[in-house]
Amino acid sequence: MTDHHIGLIVPSSNLTMETELPRLLRAREAAEPEHRFVFHSSRMRMKHVTPEELRAMNAQTERAALELADARPDVVATACLVAIMAQGPGHHCTAEDEITAVLREQGAQVPVVSSAGALLDGIAALGAKKVAIVTPYMKPLTRLVAEYIEDAGVEVVDALSLEVADNLAVARLDPQDLREHYKRLKLGDADAVVLSACVQMPSLAAVQPVEDELGLPVLSAATATAFRILTELGLPPLVPGAGRLLAGTEVGAPGR
């Protein structure tokens, strides 16, 4: 039996990533009990999802990475998608490199994953060229997320903004409501649906049901991050009942 130690960098007000990622990987443990997953978190202050607070939170990244380096994790995931995407297209590469450099200075030679980069990788792994997205953000931030995805070569055919600015309120949204929200999307010729383009908006309870209803691949920031973590650990991306991305089938390799 192998324990895999996962370091998380999360906003101080995030309640969801430390719930959904462990829940996903506990389900994987039930299917393949020889691999277990242990989580260690470092937090960065952020209460409201505004450009100003996102920039202030990003300035705390080095300190958070230093704290995780002391725990010697096997992989580190930085889990605030919009904080990275709001800095401009391709910024996940810069953020991942900065964290990697801090870890290496402390002797921790481990892979670094960002939820922003993971979402792009998940879309690519599914072979999707056109997606529709649901976000909890105000419309200007949703536009930044859509532009970020489109800069990576994927067309966003429609985007739904739930317009919840308070980050704690986002965590309290009922994931079952997504089973109705997605019906407001103009799917057109979308290849996949990003049911939650946010690591704070709960979605796991809806991912598989919506995928079953639509007949299209459905993913979220959380399922995409789990996909990247598993592939970086050299494990098959298998999580039962979490959508096609985590069905354990052959998919494209993550890339930058």
Q: Which residues are catalytic?
A: 80, 198
- Mapping DSSP to helix (H, G, I), strand (E, B) and coil, where does residue 70 land? coil
- Mapping DSSP to helix (H, G, I), strand (E, B) and coil, where does residue 194 land? strand
The amino acid occupying position 115 is S
Backbone angles phi, psi at 114, to 5 degrees: -115, 145
Note whether 239 and 27 are within 8 A (CB): yes
Note whether 7 and 71 are within 8 A (CB): yes
CA dihedral (27, 31, 33, 35) positive or negative: negative
Q: Which residue has the tokens 């973590």?
A: 229
Q: 79 burial class (0-12, 13-18, 19+ CB within 10 angstroms)?
A: buried
CA dihedral (61, 256, 76, 205) positive or negative: positive
Compute the distance between CA of residue 74 and CA of residue 5 in angstroms, rounded to an integer: 5
- Mapping DSSP to helix (H, G, I), strand (E, B) and coil, where does residue 26 land? helix
| φ/ψ bin of 138: left (φ > 0), alpha (ψ from -120 to 50), beta (otherwise) | beta
Show the DSSP H helices in 152-242 as ranges.
167-171, 178-181, 204-214, 221-232
Note whether 116 and 91 are within 8 A (CB): yes
